[in-house]
Structure 1
Amino acid sequence: MPHHADRPTKTCPVCGRPFQWRRKWKDNWEDVRYCSERCRRHRNRARPDTSEGPQISNSATSAA
């Protein structure tokens, strides 16, 4: 079994992907929110709550 299986994980609020603890985050893991620099830059585009399901546009259905 690989040793990284025991690492703590978090979910990125921007892309929704899980990411694991890294050595560079050992001093501030509690403050880490984003999986990458790209997601940190796009933090204003955070995913809405997924409990409502995907947002479907009515423009395609109303044109028919």
Structure 2
Amino acid sequence: MKVAAAYFREKAKLFQQLADTFIGQHDQIANQLRAIADEFEANASALETRIVREAAHLSRDEDGPQFH
């Protein structure tokens, strides 16, 4: 999943750079490209959050059963 998150961040950066090239000339296209970049960023963030949660869950499981 880390690889997928890195992929999404890379694509977000690419689309942001593309959007920057259209500023002032084609603002509608720039806005659409920024929206795509935002989606890639959101996907990367979601994956990273999932990685952290799963790692925390696994570390709790390694400590053995928890009795309350």
Q: Give the TM-score taking structure 2 as reference length.
A: 0.29
**Which protein, 1 or 2, shows the higher relative CO under an 8 Å CA cutoff with sep ≥ 6?**
2
Work out which of the two has the higher radius of gyration on C-alpha atoms and give 1 or 2: 2
**Higher share of residues assigned helix:** 2
**Higher share of residues assigned strand:** 1
